[in-house]
Each structure stands twice: as structure tokens, then as C-alpha cells.
Copies of this chain bind each other. A is one copy, B any other.
């Protein structure tokens, strides 16, 4: 089930995806019949962090049990939560399945500091985080439903790594690409990354242009969606300006 053998992603595709908003990406996935790729209810907790993009490294929790989930478990370096923190690779995103239960935190400041130090690209949980003020100062993209002070042991039992999970009602397979911005997080199935990446970047550029035209007074008709004349005007301006390639 661990997906170590996955074919590598093309850096150009990642760069293209990284230029697209999560809104644009869901539209591209929608074209391929995928309607459940956006993780609803998660908000960015790290105002100073860059947009998030990286491969999913998954951690699964089940409900805690009082005789199993005691503070002493953290003395074990093989505890899945602690192991995950030291295994999530540079450029990867730790995605945690907390069954949407945010009454106890999924993780806290020290663990997220460690992941930031190790170069993780981001943290996503359908639960909450503790020490949210410290976390908000890290240079790490973080998404959760909010904060909670309670230790994860009270409700969550970390059980395994790198298995397919549900997060906020969305299937996330290890190696899928997670993208995050102000609207939240979208999960791009790995095999669709090369399929949609360039189209997403192009849609993004076009819509940025169209939004400006609408801001200047253009009506929807002819502009959004763009008719032939608008598309020609867009192409003319594109050839004039330096569009950043990634």
C-alpha cells in the first residue's frame, strides 16, 4: 500500500500547478468528472507562509482508547505520529485523517516546528492544531479547521502511515499532489497531474486577464466566458508582457 515505486512527477507540471489557484484546479478536475477533490472546511492557519504544493504523506488516526492512549506512548520513537514527523520528506505535505473531529488537536507547535525544519511543504488536517499562535509564526503552510488545546491522545490514536485516507470527506492517496491557497486545499490525484497542470496554468493566466477586463467595466457577455475577440485581445497582450513561465 505504501507507494514508494510511484513514477516521479515532472517539475514543470508541479511548477504549472503551483501557479494555478485551487479554484482553477478544481475546475480542471471537474472536466474529468471529479467532483470531490476539494477539502471543505479547512482554513489556512499560517498567514505568512507561501502557497502550498507537495506530495501527500498520509497519517491515519482512529478514535483513542483510554487504556492504550496514554502519555507514555510518546516515549516510543516508533509511535506513528512521531515517526511521521521524522519521515515526511522535503517538499511533502503531511495529510492527517482525524475523522473530522477537532475537539482534540492533531499535533502542536513542536512537531510542526520539526517538520518546518525538515523542509516539509505543508500540513493538512481535518481536525485542529494546538499552540496555534506559535504555529502561525512558522514558515510552513498549515491547514486545519481551527485550533484546540486538548492533546491528541484524548481522542485520536495514530495508527498507520502512507495508506489511502479520507480527509475532510475527500480521498487522499499517498503521492497525490496537495495544493493550498486562501480558499483551502485541493487534492490532485497523482495520475492527473500531467493531464491538467498546463491547462490549469493557462486557465489561471486567462482568468487573471479576464478579471481585469471585468474590473474595467467589461460585461460578462463576450468576456466570461471569453469570445473570439476577447481571446485574440488576450493573446495580443500575452505576447507583449512577460508572462512568468513558472
Contacts and interface: CB of A to CB of B under 8 A. Distances in A.
A8 interface: no
A147 B183 contact: yes
A207 B170 CA distance: 32
Interface string A153-178: 11101011001111001110000000
Interface string A136-163: 0000000000111111011101011001
B171 A63 contact: yes
Main secondary structure of the interface of A (DSSP, over half): mixed
A159 B149 contact: no
Contacts of A133: 181-183
A131 B34 contact: no
Interface string A84-120: 0110000000000001001111001111011011000
A210 interface: yes
Interface stretch (A10-18, A220-228, A235-243): A220-228
Contact of A110 (B82, B113, B214): B214
A48 interface: no
